[in-house]
Amino acid sequence: EVQLLESGGGLVQPGGSLRLSCAASGFTFTNYAMTWVRQAPGKGLEWVSGISSSGDSTFYADSVKGRFTISRDNSKNTLYLQMNSLRAEDTAVYYCAKDGCADVICYFDYWGQGTLVTVSS
Amino acid sequence: DIVMTQSPDSLAVSLGERATINCKSSQSVLYSSNDNNYLAWYQQKPGQPPKLLIYWASTRESGVPDRFSGSGSGTDFTLTISSLQAEDVAVYYCQQYYSSPCSFGQGTKLEIK
């Protein structure tokens, strides 16, 4: 059974940093790209960032480019999102999702339960 | 960037009736070299993460009931629920993965009439 377990969310002040983690199990982690998608309270889905199976290629939404960094540790089956210079508009539930593809960002066939990030003073 | 627009924003359908949700992309998501449409559909129930229903515009994900179907090509797509069940109440999203950044539609809220 595929499981994705996010952690690291919480309350942070504007300008602060957080590091999200996503522990994956139940599939061969090294074979698939991975993605972060967020959802602001009461709003729709917004793709944030993706990373290829090897970690060689990374992709970002314009809204987070230069502030967020996606990475993965294939030896630990874990995906990360380092979030710096956080803004109020980054407040959202952040979902980790498994891609259906290896080296490009495509559809997302498994999702974690999400972790809430709140940016507020 | 490709913009995805869904219609309607909300929809109320009687139990057992057909529900149709539309999704339009600002440019084609059909990749001519493999004839695949890079379009997926998701269902999100309150308090839950999204669930993949359809990918490649018309391929049903394993375990998804066959009352759900996807159709369309190029820029215009449709998600159809052939006979609405109570458990289908949710928000539905389309997503294009033809080009980065991938993008979602704004969502369509489906309710029981």
Q: Are B91 and B44 in contact (CB under 8 A)?
A: yes
| Nearest-by-Cβ selection for A107 from B40, B100, B105 | B40
For residue range B34-65, list pLDDT tens digits in order. 999 999 999 999 999 999 999 999 999 999 99
CA atoms within 13 A on the CB side of A83: 32
Q: Reduce the secondary structure of A48-107 to three states and give it as a string.
A: EEEECCCCCCEEECCCCCCCEEEEEECCCCEEEEEECCCCHHHCEEEEEEEECCCCCCCC
Q: What is the mean pLDDT of residues B71-76?
A: 98
B99 vs A contacts (CB less than 8 Å)? none
pLDDT for A29-70, tens place per residue?
A: 999 999 999 999 999 999 999 999 999 999 999 999 999 999
pLDDT > 70 in chain A, percent: 100
Coil, helix or strand at residue A35: strand
What pLDDT is recorded for position A25?
98
Which residue carries 């998501």 as its tokens?
B29
pLDDT exceeds 90 at position A19 = yes
Chain B closest CA to A45's CA: distance in Å? 6
Q: Do A45 and B107 touch (CB under 8 A)?
A: yes
Classify residue A69 by burial, with Cβ atoms within 10 Å: 0-12, 13-18, 19+. middle
Residue owning tokens 């999200």: A20
Amino acid letter, B8: P
Backbone phi, then psi, for B110, in 5-degree steps? -105, 125
